Each structure stands twice: as structure tokens, then as C-alpha cells.
Amino acid sequence: MQKETIILGGGCFWCTEAVFNMLRGVISVKPGYAGGTVKNPTYEQVCSGNTGHAEVIKIKYDAEVVPLETLLTIFFASHDPTTKDRQGNDVGTQYRSVIFCESSAQKDICEKFIKELNNSSEMGAPIVTTVEPLTDFYPAEDYHKNYYENNKNQSYCQVVINPKLKKVQQKFAELLK
């Protein structure tokens, strides 16, 4: 087993956590905050948009089962990486599309991946996802963990998360647990 981690921000961490929890090779997914200036921020502070943090997920995965490029494929397919500081009705820097890398090798893979995406379609909008070095990751409060699994009947889960999950299930069935 080759355990690695990557931190991804693609809007609301409830959505991204639910998507990546479905994948073979993913060992754990933890919602949290990264990229800001406040130590140990709370959800309310991050939601204010004043801390500089993004809602992110920390994915621990077995790179022998699911390589980073596969995770990136799903990441870019499951959110809008062409809209700055916005995912659907969630607006603000805390919902930005961002990848926090723990190594220069990871950074190189991510930057190459984005370049290839941008070069693959002259008609598409450019990717605005930033690739940044990881400084700190702060775990989110406990009630955010496994939010979708614990709240499937809530309207947000039904209206926002379910369509994302169905899209991933249809496009990437062979990668699901």
C-alpha cells in the first residue's frame, strides 16, 4: 500500500467529501479548512470570508489503487473549476477551486494536469483552480464529518449533493467502492 494525501477545495466540503468517499482506494476523507491566516478557524469564521481559508477535504488514499491523476479527473469533473470563488449558490473565497500540495512532485502533477485540461479544449473556459503549497490544515468541527451520510434527507443533500453523486456514479462507475 502506498499511502498519500492530497487536499482539495471544490466548493462546499459536504459535496466533495461525499464524492470522494465513494471511491475505491480512498482510505479517508476529512473536511477542514486550509489556505487562510487565522489559526484554528471555526466554520462561522471561514463562512464569513474574512479568514482566507477555503473549505477543503483531506484525502488519504492508496496511490497503487487510485493514482493522483484519477483523483484529479474526478475532482475536475465534479465541480466547476472555471468559476472563480463560486460553486453554485456558494459564493466567496472560502468556496474557491484550489489544490493544496504537500510536495513539489504533487504540485508538478497538478499543474501539468491543469495545463493539459486547458490545452484540450480551445472552446472551454480556462481553469481557475489554483495550486498552492500546504501550510496548515485544520479539521472541521465534528458535525461536518460524513455530513451527507448523516443527513441524506435534508434538502441541501437532496438538491445539491445527490446530483453530483449521480454524475460521478454514472461517469466513473468502475472506480466506485
Specify the amino acid at residue 112: K
**Concatenated DSSP letters for 77-124?**
HSS-TTSTTEETTEESGGG-EEEEESSHHHHHHHHHHHHHHHHH-SSS
- CA 144/CA 139 separation, integer angstroms: 9
Residues 6+ apart with CB under 8 A from 104: none
Place of cell 489544490: 99
Check if the beta carbon of residue 144 is closer than 8 Å to that of residue 14.
yes
DSSP 36: -
Catalytic residue of the set 12, 15, 101, 110: 12
Per-residue CA distances from 76 to 50, 69, 97, 154 (Å) = 26, 11, 9, 25
Catalytic status, residue 47:
no
Catalytic positions, written as ranges: 12
